[in-house]
């Protein structure tokens, strides 16, 4: 979605090696599309009607470059998973990925989009994000939780989004789970951030191969969220989510954003 860029980003973006890795995105410091696809197997294969994932490591060779290498044609040093030939992807990396977020609506959106990325590239999700927002009430938790079967059926006919019934049904299930979490913990943000002690984890990876695609914390978060009814919330997807929303700073040390994101936590 890939963004355990996710580095385990879900492959395109936000997957990654060592296991996978968003960008997020999955974003993200991920490794190669083929490894991402393999790592996400079991967490949700692409359903009928979805765009196919990247076909080869060649398409993701930018992510396999040495740490600190130019991550874009503009010569700016970015994370290795960024191929650098797409302005939308570059902007996501430079402006969103890894920025700490404590907004319930945004966190809910990222949980859903990271799950939607399963089996696909994060760039595919990014290109469809505005369409998803239009179709799913800008990811307003209460409005998505109240969506009817007829609305989901209509969404399945919309070619501008990822047309997977399982993934779209998961949006509704996740919204209902988020409502339950808000009632119990005060906010979705308070609950999710509690897994990292309410403070971003500052990593200092020098190269993509060092970035994990899942951790003990993402496994704990995954198990807890699944117990509460969330779907497409496996440990790799949740690590990509954690990377995307700044719960962990996985910008490699040679990336222009590493210190900038670190400073946001001080």
Annotated binding residues for Zn(2+) = 79, 93, 251, 255
H or E segment and range at residue 265 = none
* Per-residue three-class SS string for 202-260: ECCCCCHHHCCCCCHHHHHHHHHHHHCCCCCCCHHHHHHHHHHCCCEECCCCCCCCHHH
Question: Which one from 14, 81, 89, 92 is the annotated catalytic residue?
Answer: 92
Q: What is the rounded distance in angstroms from the CA atom of residue 28 to the CA atom of residue 13? A: 5
Q: Which residue numbers belong to the known binding site?
A: 79, 93, 251, 255
- Whether 81 is catalytic is no
Question: Which one from 122, 191, 193, 205 is the annotated catalytic residue?
Answer: 122
- Whether 92 is catalytic is yes
DSSP bridge partners of 27: 23
- Whether 239 is catalytic is no
Determine the distance from the C-alpha atom of residue 180 to the mean position of all C-alpha atoms in its chain, rounded to a whole number: 22
Which of helix, strand or coil describes residue 77?
strand
Question: Which one from 97, 114, 214, 232 is the annotated catalytic residue?
Answer: 114
- Closest Cα partner for 203 from 154, 136, 255? 255
Residues known to be catalytic? 92, 114, 122
């Amino acid at each position: 979605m890939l963004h355990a860029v996710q580095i385990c980003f879900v492959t395109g973006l936000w997957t990654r090696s060592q296991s996978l890795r968003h960008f997020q995105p999955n974003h993200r410091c991920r490794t190669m599309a083929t490894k991402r696809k393999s790592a996400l197997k079991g967490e949700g294969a692409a359903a009928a009607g979805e765009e196919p994932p990247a076909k080869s490591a060649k398409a993701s060779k930018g992510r396999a470059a040495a740490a600190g290498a130019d991550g874009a044609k503009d010569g700016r040093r970015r994370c290795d998973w960024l191929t650098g030939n797409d302005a939308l992807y570059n902007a996501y990396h430079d402006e969103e990925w890894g920025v700490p977020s404590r907004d319930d609506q945004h966190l809910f959106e990222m949980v859903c989009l990271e799950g939607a990325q399963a089996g696909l590239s994060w760039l595919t999700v990014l290109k469809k994000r505005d369409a998803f927002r239009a179709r799913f009430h800008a990811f307003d938790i209460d409005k998505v939780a109240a969506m009817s079967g007829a609305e989901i059926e209509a969404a399945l006919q919309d070619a501008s989004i990822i047309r997977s019934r399982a993934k779209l049904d998961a949006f509704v299930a996740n919204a209902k789970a988020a409502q339950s979490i808000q009632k119990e913990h005060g906010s979705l943000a308070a609950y999710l951030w509690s897994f990292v002690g309410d403070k971003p984890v500052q990593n200092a990876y020098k190269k993509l191969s060092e970035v994990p695609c899942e951790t003990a914390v993402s496994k704990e978060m995954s198990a807890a969220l699944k117990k509460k009814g969330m779907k497409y919330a496996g440990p790799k997807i949740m690590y990509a989510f954690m990377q995307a929303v700044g719960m962990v700073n996985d910008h490699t040390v040679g990336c222009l954003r590493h210190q900038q994101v670190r400073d946001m936590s001080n």
